[in-house]
Structure 1
Amino acid sequence: MWSNKSFQLSSFVNGRNYTVLEGFWKRGNGAHVTIVNIYCTGSLREKKEMWNEVGGFRQGQLSKAGCIIGDFNSIRRQEERKSVMLNSDYSREIKGFNDFIESSELADIPLVGRKFTWFKPNGLVKSIIDRRDSRFKEFVRSSWASYKVVGRGIFVFKEKLKKLKADLKVWNKEVFGDANQTSKEIQQRLDDLDLRDDEDGLDESEREERKSLFAKLSVSKSKQEAILFQRARQSWIKQGDLNTKFFHSSVKWRRARNQLHGIFVNKKWSDNKEEVKNKVRELFEERFARNDVCQVRLDKVDFNSISEADNEMLIGDFSEEEVKATIWGCDSSKSPDPDGFKFGFIKSCWDILKKDVVSAVKDFAGYGS
């Protein structure tokens, strides 16, 4: 709907619990349409305010095409909400919501699929996530200590990271499995329980099972989002809502941007993989090849000089505190390598990695590679 090919936005208004969008539907006859998106809280007072404001706006738009959608957080009949005693507040809410729908000449579209669209969370998710974090760090600690690599500091660090990356892939699959498949299986079982609830109702054990499944589904969905969030490399948006469609698009765009489809060779386009690899290698070999010809002369140039103390400071070894301060100054979602570990990982496992990190930095400073 938000594609410029389908809908052209002309104006919008933000209310306390709603947003009104006006524009033209390009497909078909290009009709002028109004779309109201609702997200209301549980307060009856705020619901009444929203009904009055949106209802008043709708009265002036009755002759135009329009759609009011979203989360009204209200019910039209008692049977639409389970496990709640119908008190006077709910009675007033039901009447007020029905009056709003009728006066605005709205059609209540029948629900397809589940009978209920929201279930009360049970608060189990946080403790499960905490246990996952603990197991992850202990795995990193034991794995890192087991790697026996000999060589220069930067080589040792690189090889240990390579081994850890491979081991983490296996560990993640063994411990957590496929998050997508897990979510599908949990969702299928929840659908089965919902159908049974609609027909015959659930017994106590089945209600407890449904609570447990919702907790597991929340963890699985959070894991899916976290994986896509990392792949998308979006620093301006944080995890929270399940923005999986957005993250999928970001991942695809990032991969397409980084992919080298082909190059021009002697003014002719080539997408042959071997030819492209050879030409890229030749380009960088030529670019970084040593040139012994003196191209710049500095005769009689009077340079400013520094003190011996400053010189000692500049050529001295980096301290652990300096390396740590530099890493902590980097965005945790960023990675030094296109497909490597993020700074957030290095920070969280600093007590495990710091010796090798500092050794790699000192090695690079001493040898330049």
Structure 2
Amino acid sequence: MELQEIKSYGSRFTWCRPNGSVRSRLDRCLVSEQWLIKWPDSSQQVLHRDYSDHCPILLKTDMVDWGPKPFRVMDCWLKNKQYQALVKDVWCGDQQPGWGSIVLKNKLKNLKSNIKKWSIEFGDITRHKIQHLKQQLHQIDISAQDRTLGDDEVKTMKSIQQKLWEVSFAHESILRQKSRIRWLREGDNNTTFFHKSINFRRHYNAIQGMFIEGTWVQNPKLIKDQAVSFFTARFTEENYDRPTLDGVQFNTITHTQREEMIAPFSDLELREAVWSCSGDKCPGPDGFNFNFIKEF
């Protein structure tokens, strides 16, 4: 029936034998693909039981705001002339003072904000353009039922079909990249599979809540603060006396080896390092992947 079980939290078991000798998970919520498209953040919470030997299940469809979504460049943008011109104009027009690494960071930050604004407009245009092209193609098909199409109409129909393929290819490429399915060729006409993969990743990575000092908390701000405190404590080093290595003899490297270790990288080495990386990978958290770096 193509139903899926959504993420569950609370008690691990939903049924208990009266004497407590056996516990099992018998009850659960199953939803359809259409449900997940309309309410992607659905979850089920197993509540405490009382008189019954079954636990009640609460189905939630809350849309929790966890803050801004991370930025990601899409590979299909590379074939768009407006996108190419935007990147070059913004990059060349942004003159930043200071140290090289700081200049690179600030220019990427400025470029990201401009691409974000452009991507919203591009996404709206893509969706409307697909519908508009389909409608045009449908009108031509209706005309072809009653008469033979002229040469100009045939050329127009082929042009519309070509544009529709291009726009649909860009849309499918975005879905494929969001679903992170690398073993399918880009352009495989299987958007339903990509949608399901996106929803699966969303449910798998979603955090419905966290136990903080024995209390179940679902407030995003409190969960973020707790995560920061946990990792801050984990990576904070305690002050204690370390043993010294005075008088211990170590093997040393030669002068030539030392010079080789601090020699600057050549342009060829840098290019080989970048081009050996997969295009979908991002070298940092800024969202610019290696396909973007190789192109520009």
For normalisation by structure 2, the TM-score amounts to 0.65
Give the counterpart letter for 1:309 in structure 2: T
Matches within 5 A, 1:208-357: 208-295=155-242, 298=245, 301-337=248-284, 340-349=287-296
Take 1:290 and 1:149, find their aligned partners in 2: how far apart are those partners? 37
- Of the two, which has the highest radius of gyration? 1
Contact preservation (8 Å) 1:221, 1:242: no
Give the counterpart letter for 1:346 in structure 2: I
When residues 173 and 277 of structure 1 are mapped into structure 2, their CA distance, relative to the original with a 3 A threshold, is closer
**Structure 1 counterpart of 2:132:** 185
Residue 164 of structure 1: which of 108, 111, 114 is its match? 111
Shift of 1:190: 1.2
Q: After TM superposition, which residue ranges in structure 1, 4 or more long, deviate above 4 angstroms?
A: 1-4, 131-135, 172-177, 295-302
Percentage of pairs with the same residue: 32
Take 1:264 and 1:301, find their aligned partners in 2: how far apart are those partners? 49
When residues 274 and 169 of structure 1 are mapped into structure 2, their CA distance, relative to the original with a 3 A threshold, is closer
When residues 171 and 270 of structure 1 are mapped into structure 2, their CA distance, relative to the original with a 3 A threshold, is closer
Give the counterpart letter for 2:185 in structure 1: K
Deviation per residue, 1:325-366 (Å, 9 max, x gap) = 2111111121124560111110111xxxxxxxxxxxxxxxxx
Take 1:174 and 1:293, find their aligned partners in 2: how far apart are those partners? 56
When residues 176 and 261 of structure 1 are mapped into structure 2, their CA distance, relative to the original with a 3 A threshold, is closer
Take 1:251 and 1:159, find their aligned partners in 2: how far apart are those partners? 32
Residue 147 of structure 1: which of 88, 91, 94 is its match? 94
Structure 2: which 5+ runs fail to align?
5-75
Contact preservation (8 Å) 2:283, 2:289: yes
Shift of 1:289: 2.1
Give the counterpart letter for 1:148 in structure 2: Q
Shift of 1:292: 3.3
Take 2:201 and 2:243, find their aligned partners in 1: how far apart are those partners? 40
Matches within 5 A, 1:124-139: 132=79, 136-139=83-86
Shift of 1:323: 2.5
| Stretch moving more, 265-274 or 202-211 | 202-211
Take 1:163 and 1:173, find their aligned partners in 2: how far apart are those partners? 16
Take 1:141 and 1:319, find their aligned partners in 2: how far apart are those partners? 25
Take 1:194 and 1:300, find their aligned partners in 2: how far apart are those partners? 89
**Structure 1 counterpart of 2:24:** none
Higher relative CO (Cα under 8 Å, sequence separation at least 6) belongs to: 2
| Stretch moving more, 326-335 or 163-172 | 163-172
Shift of 1:142: 2.1
Between the two proteins, the alignment pairs up a number of residues equal to 226
For normalisation by structure 1, the TM-score amounts to 0.53
Give the counterpart letter for 1:232 in structure 2: S
Contact preservation (8 Å) 1:330, 1:343: yes
Structure 1: which 5+ runs fail to align?
5-128, 350-369
